[in-house]
Amino acid sequence: MKSIIDGTAIALAIVGVVGVSGCTSSPVPNARVASSEAAIRAAQETGSRDVPQAALHLKLAEEQLEQAKKLIRNDDNERASFVLARAEADAELALALSRAEGSKAKAGTALENVRAVRTGAPTP
């Protein structure tokens, strides 16, 4: 009889610990907020708004950052962390698209210069 009571007490203790740990909230993802804001700022500074595809991803990143901040205010930190990861990824994609567009423009200019040199025309 004593072993049944001991077993029950242990089981209840385990359930209590698991139950309490399930109720605890995740910590505020401050580092992820900072890295998302930095990625967005970098995309803004590289002219992502001037490239249509990059502008779309930059806008998504900004909206996701605001959504994550609302989730943090509502103490839904775990979900906010996932939204912040998406925001950072979208901002990095905007940055990459913006840089690719700049590289394409430079490559086009270089190609025009090469053609001009081959034909003997003056370079622009």
Q: What is the pLDDT along the chain (124 residues), one digit of tens a residue?
A: 455 555 554 545 565 544 444 555 789 999 999 999 999 999 999 999 999 999 999 999 999 999 999 999 999 999 999 999 999 999 999 999 999 987 777 777 877 877 878 887 665 5
Residue 19 lies in a domain: no
pLDDT for the residue numbered 24:
57
H-helix or E-strand containing 65?
Answer: helix 52-73
Summarised one tens digit per residue, pLDDT across range 29-55 is 999 999 999 999 999 999 999 999 999
Residue 18 lies in a domain: no
Residue 5 lies in a domain: no
Residues 40/92, Cβ–Cβ less than 8 Å: no
Residue 20 lies in a domain: no
Residue 124 lies in a domain: no
Q: Whose structure tokens read 């190609």?
A: 111
pTM, 2 dp: 0.69
CATH number at residue 63: 1.20.1270
Residue 11 lies in a domain: no
Give me the domain span that covers residue 83.
29-119
Domain count, the chain: 1
